[in-house]
Structure 1
Amino acid sequence: MQNGARFRRAALIVNTRSRSGREAYREARRRLESLGVPLEESFALKDPVRLPEAVKATIDDGHDLIVLGGGDGTVSSVVDFMARGEATFGLLPLGTANDFARTLGIPTDLRRACETVARGKVVDVDLGLADDNYYVNVASVGLSAGVTRALSPALKRRAGALAYPIAAVRAFLAHEPFSATLTFPEGDHEPAAFDRLLQVAVGNGRFYGGGLVVAPAAGIDDGRLDVYAIRPDGRRELAGVLRYLRTGEFVRRDCVSHYETRRVRLETEPHLPVNIDGELVAETPVEFSVVPNALRVLVPPDSTAARRDLNV
């Protein structure tokens, strides 16, 4: 039986400013309808600011399946309205990085992504919380904020996934080290103070930044956050960190401190913007926590990234 039959009312919402959104909207609608997904409403939104409003309205109207087309920023902008709710989330990855989709094994090919919505299984995944902002992948301060500033829409269109390493080089050349203090409200680690940091990141999912690994054992339903602080201890050591980012092995480098926890408070000097899933939406100090099983998502039947939701 197609999974679409399990849902009564579905809505399709596509960010047509995402990297491939404009081309994908009509094809996605046609494919989902042909696969039996009960689409009652569909929206092609040129202004990303309207995405949260559209998602909230469809949930309030009783839709139990929200199919969203866009990238990680699109997902992060609407997840607050879906967290801990009854509606199920279907994702069509149309962005540049698509790290949330990569974590869950959701294909970036539109045909296969639509089939995942129609025939996939529902799983529960954790969400991160930065004060009162939910996020799916990583929240961070330092170098990542510079990357976000350097990652212009024009660069994304020209370079695709290569936009991230290009922006990282630009951000590194302009980076100013900062100091930070990590405290752990649940007492699972001693407080830690650092000088001259490159970055502090708090990861919920497995991937960020176009395929970089948060940590070797990171998972999206393990009930914990992976926290790391990177110190620029010289060019050779920093080069090692950058080289190992693709595998997550960087957490074992001498210039990296790594913690696993459910809650952490971050203070910095000076106060710094917080990059949440690629958007600068907060400022330090900030407290991070994990919310287990907060989001219901459709994934491919063979995905092993998260446990199945037994209520569906």
Structure 2
Amino acid sequence: MTPTTEQAALVVNSGSRRGAAAFEDAHRMLLERGVDVVEAFGVSDPARLRETVEQAVERGRRLIVVGGGDGTFSSVVDVLAGTDVTLGVLPLGTANDLARTLELPLDLAAACDTVANGKVVDIDVGRIGGTAFLNVASSGLSVEVAQAMSPVLKRRLGPLAYPIAAVPAYRRHTPFTAELTFPLGDHEPVRLEGLLQLAVGNGRFYGGGNAVSQVAGIDDHQLDVYAIPAGRFREHVNIARFFRSGTFVEHPEVLHLRTRAVDLATDHPVRVNVDGEVVATTPVSFTVSPNALDVIVPQHSRAARRDRPGPAGRD
């Protein structure tokens, strides 16, 4: 039995980069492809996305198709993780890094095809304290970049908004000191002084297609931790050349560790950006919940597989 046999709810963040224009088209395309969409919501207030998804689940919907950007998916993942509800992804945001990680098409019609004809896999969910995330949580430069990214800049430039916002953010960045400890004892504690950025990745991509590392994945039950020190601009340019491939973590000045749990403390409170939204302040703890979320991916996707048994009629 395929996911399309389930009664589905469509929830689109109409405040996302392409959401307002895509809502009606997505509804029509899903119905045309045989997805049993019994209710559809265009949500203009992002604060109501979680509530809307919660209510759809309470009404018995076992397929929730969500349209929006990475922040949209992170905002609703807590509702779906650990349940028998499947997520369908329509990438309508600026970076669309979850879609890139899952090898999903960015074209709306092709994304609707995937919901109708794809396969169900289960993926890991990262956690920062009690808050779930899918892609990356980070402190330092990324927070300043996120705050410099106006909605107008996102809509006009798409992923190109990231490097443009990074220039003024880099100039005003203040280095910070971090202490990493590992509750599972898989690494010794690490003290890092004068940092530009520290990131903890659950998925593979962030920032519009940059890779957390060359080995990062969303189905490997690991968090990828990297730290880049502050320093000379020329050296940062050299490191940034390898962001797309993730091989920047091989640079001798970059720390890269893999773990299932890490605690982060800093010399002063530092804000944490989670999938494009600033949602926390250090100290914080990170963990990973393996195979916690069912999601539909293309048949050809190798980003994840199904490890845990599904409910009757869903495999």
TM-score scaled by length of structure 1: 0.97
What is the match of residue 155 of structure 2?
157
8 A Cα contact 1:12 1:66, kept in partner: yes
What is the match of residue 233 of structure 2?
235
Corresponding residue to 2:143 among 139, 142, 145 = 145
Q: CA deviation at 1:255?
A: 1.7
C-alpha distance in 1 between matches for 2:4 and 2:168: 45
Structure 2: which 5+ runs fail to align? none
1:140-182 Cα offsets, whole Å, 9 max, x none, are 1111110110011011012111001111112111100010100
Corresponding residue to 2:52 among 23, 32, 54 = 54
What is the match of residue 248 of structure 1?
246
What is the match of residue 209 of structure 2?
211
8 A Cα contact 2:3 2:63, kept in partner: no
What is the match of residue 37 of structure 2?
39
Q: CA deviation at 1:52?
A: 0.5
- Opposite residue 240 of structure 2, the aligned amino acid is L
SS in 2 for 1:308: coil
8 A Cα contact 1:204 1:290, kept in partner: yes
1:257-296 Cα offsets, whole Å, 9 max, x none, are 1100000000011111111111111110000011100100
Which piece of structure 1 moves more, 301-310 or 103-112?
A: 301-310
C-alpha distance in 1 between matches for 2:88 and 2:103: 13
Q: CA deviation at 1:120?
A: 0.4
What is the match of residue 28 of structure 1?
26
SS in 2 for 1:280: strand
8 A Cα contact 1:232 1:255, kept in partner: no
Q: CA deviation at 1:194?
A: 1.1
C-alpha distance in 1 between matches for 2:2 and 2:72: 27
- Opposite residue 287 of structure 1, the aligned amino acid is S
What is the match of residue 84 of structure 1?
82
What is the match of residue 306 of structure 1?
304
Corresponding residue to 1:63 among 61, 64, 82 = 61
8 A Cα contact 1:237 1:255, kept in partner: no
Corresponding residue to 1:270 among 260, 268, 271 = 268
Q: CA deviation at 1:3?
A: 4.2
1:23-50 Cα offsets, whole Å, 9 max, x none, are 1111111111111111111001111111
**4+ runs of 1 displaced by more than 3 Å?**
none
- Opposite residue 291 of structure 2, the aligned amino acid is N
What is the match of residue 4 of structure 2?
4
Structure 1: which 5+ runs fail to align? none
Are 2:223 and 1:220 equivalent residues in the alignment? Answer: no
Equivalences for residues 165-180 of structure 1 within 5 A:
165-180=163-178
8 A Cα contact 1:263 1:287, kept in partner: yes
